[in-house]
A and B are shown apart, each in its own frame.
Chain A
Amino acid sequence: MIWPLARRNPAIRTVAGAGEIQARFKVEHAGFTLDVELNLPGRGVSALFGHSGSGKTSCLRCFAGLDQPSAGYLQVNGELWQDSAQGVFVPAHQRAVGYVFQDANLFAHLTVRRNLQYGLKRIPAAQRRIALEQAVELLGIEHLLERLPGKLSGGEQQRVGIARALLTSPRLLLLDEPLASLDLKRKQEVLPYLERLHQELEIPIVYVSHSPDEVARLADHLVLLEDGKVSASGPLKETLLRADLPFVFEDDAEAVVDGVVTAHDQAYGLLSLQLPDSQINLRLPHGPLPLGQSVRIKVKARDVSLSLQQAEDSSVLNLLPARVVDWINVAEQAHVLVRVQVGGEQLIARITRYSFDRLQIQREQLLWAQVKSVSLLSTH
C-alpha cells in the first residue's frame, strides 16, 4: 500500500529530522520515574520491550500526548509535537497519531462501522490516505461492521481498534500491547494482521510489548526499558546479540536471522533457507514455500551447541561453519553465551562453562555450530 505522508497540520512547527523520531521524556509519579531519550527510525516497527512497571506504556502515552511529561521533546519525521524548553505541547487530538489500546477501548455506544468512521470523518478528505474499505479489508472485519463492540471477541475488538486507528491516516502508529489481553488462539488470529501492517505501511510504528516472541516476529528496532530507563536501543538483530547486555530475554537468549527459501525436500518435509552473504543453508521441518521467499527465523541459544569437528554422524539437522565473535558469562556461572558468526548472520550458543574451557574457545576461532531446532517467525 502506498502511504505518502499526509499534509502537515499548519499549526505544527517543523524541524530538521525527517526520517527519524527523536524523543525525550521525563515523567515523575509517586515511586516511579521515567527518564528516557530515544532515537527511533522514521519507518518500520520499533518495539519498546520491558517487564511490567518498566515504563513502556507511560512512554507510549507521552508519544500520543495523553500524558504530559514534566520535561520533554518529541519530533516525528520533522514535525515538532513537544518541546518543553520552548513551551510547545501539541495536545493529543491535534497529533497525527493512531493509538491502539491494550483493551481496544472501542466506543460501546457505536457500531463497528461508526467506530471506524469516528476518526475517519475528523480527518479532512484531502489528508486521508486510506479508505474505510481498505482498512476493513486489511484487518478482515467486513462481517463485523454492523455489530456493537460488546458482541465481538477480544481478537475482533482488537482488529477493529487497529483499523480505527489506521483510518485517521496517522504519521505515527502506537500499539500498546495489543495482544496482551488475548489468549493464544486470539493472538494467532491478530498477529498476521500486525505483520501485514508492518509490510504495507510506510509510517513508523511503536509497539509496546513484554513478549519476546512478538518482538522477535514484528520488530525492526528494539528498545529495552528497565525501571524507567533505556538500557539498550538499536536494530533488532544487533541488539538481541549484544553481548555486553544482561541478555535481553535472559534464559531465553535468542538470535533472529533472515534467510531466503532455496529448496523444499518433499520426501522429508524439510525446507532449506540460505543465509545472507553466504552459501550456507539451514534446514527446518516446514511445508513448502515459494522459492526466493524471504523469511525470518528465530534460533534459541539453548538449541545451539558448538563442536570443533564437523560431526557428520550426529542427529542434529544443521551443522554450520561458524567463527567465534565473543562471549559472556551467564549470571549463575555454569553457562557461557557464545556469539558466533555464520555467513552474514550471528547466532548465540548457550554452552556450559565446562565445555567452553574444554574446547578452549578463543576469539576468531573457526568451529561448527550445531543447530538443533529453528522456528519460522514470519515471511515477508
Chain B
Amino acid sequence: MPLTKADFAAVLLTFELASLTTLLLLLIGTPIAWWLARTDSRWKQPIGAIVALPLVLPPTVIGFYLLVSMGPHGVIGQLTQSLGLGTLTFTFAGLVIGSVFYSLPFVVQPLQNAFEAIGRAPLEAAATLRAGPWDAFFTVVLPLAKPGFVTAAILGFAHTVGEFGVVLMIGGNIPGKTQVASVQIYNHVETMQYAQAHWLAGGMVLFSFIVLLALYSGRSSGRSSTRVWQ
C-alpha cells in the first residue's frame, strides 16, 4: 500500500479545503472583480493592489498576520469569541479563511479581465430590452464571462491545493483536521520516509499538470468561441 491512512486523510482534506475555498472565492471575488472592472473611483488602484498582495508576499507573512488576528487577542479572534465560536487558529475554518485570502488574486484577476473584455455595450442592449441591472448581470454578463469563471475556479482551486506556508502558520499539523497533502509531504521528509513522500509529491505533480492542461486547452477553444461571438 503506497499511501497510508493518514496520507489519504490529508488528500481528502486538501480537496475539501480547495473546494470550499473556491466556492467562497467565486462568491466573494465576483462582486470585487465587477467593482474593479466598472469603477472610476480613486480607490480602484489601492483596492486592486491589496487584492494582488498575496501574489508577492511570502505565505508565511500572510499566515503570521492571520495567526495574530485570529488569535485570542486579535480582531477576528475577539469577534469569533464574542460569537461563542472560540478562536479559529488550528481549525479547519481557520484554514478556509487563510486560503481565501491567499488565493483571492487568482480568482479576482481572471474575472476582472473577463468583465472588462465584455464592456458596457451588452449591458446597454440589455437595459433597452427591459432587463434591470441584476437581470442583465445574470443573463448577459455571467454567460459571456463563463470562460473567465472557469479559469478563475481552476486557478483558485489549484492554488489552494498548493498552499503550504499559510497552512503551517495558522493550522499547524493536526491529522484529519488541518493536515493537508503539502504538509504531509513535509512530515514524510522530516521523518526520512522518502518513498511515502514520493507517492504524494508525484500525485501532486500529476494533478497540477492535468489542471494546467485542462486550463490551456480550455483557453484555446475558448478563444475560438469568442471569435464566433464577434
Contact = CB atoms under 8 A, between A and B. Distances in A.
Tell me if chain B binds chain A. Answer: yes
Interface of A: 64-66, 91-94, 97-99, 101, 105-109, 118-119, 122-123, 148-151, 164-165, 168
Contacts of B226: 108
A171 to B, nearest CB: 12
A162 to B, nearest CB: 12
Contacts of A66: 124, 127-128
B175 to A, nearest CB: 47
12 contacts: A93-B130, A93-B132, A93-B133, A97-B128, A99-B124, A99-B128, A108-B229, A119-B129, A123-B130, A150-B230, A165-B129, A168-B130
Contacts of B229: 108-109, 148-150
A106 B130 CA distance: 15
B121 A93 contact: no
B129 A164 contact: yes
Nearest to B230: A150
A118 B124 contact: no
Contacts of B53: none
B128 to A, nearest CB: 4
A88 to B, nearest CB: 18
A122 B127 CA distance: 11
Q: Which of the listed residues B121, B127, B228, B230 has the most CB atoms from chain A within 10 Å of its own CB?
A: B127
A108 B128 contact: no
B140 interface: yes
Contact of A108 (B126, B135, B139, B230): B230
A148 B132 CA distance: 24
B144 A93 contact: no
B139 A118 contact: yes
Given A109-B229, A150-B228, A122 B122 contact: no
A165 B131 contact: no
B211 interface: no
Given A107-B122, A109-B143, A98 B128 contact: yes
Given A93-B129, A107-B125, A108-B228, 20 more contacts: A92-B127, A93-B126, A93-B127, A93-B128, A93-B135, A94-B130, A97-B128, A99-B128, A105-B122, A105-B125, A107-B122, A107-B126, A107-B140, A108-B226, A108-B230, A118-B139, A119-B128, A123-B130, A148-B229, A168-B130
Interface in B111-127: 121-122, 124-127
Contacts of B129: 93, 118-119, 122, 164-165, 168
Top 10 closest pairs, chain A to chain B, by CB: A108-B229, A119-B129, A99-B128, A92-B127, A122-B130, A150-B228, A109-B143, A93-B127, A105-B125, A93-B132
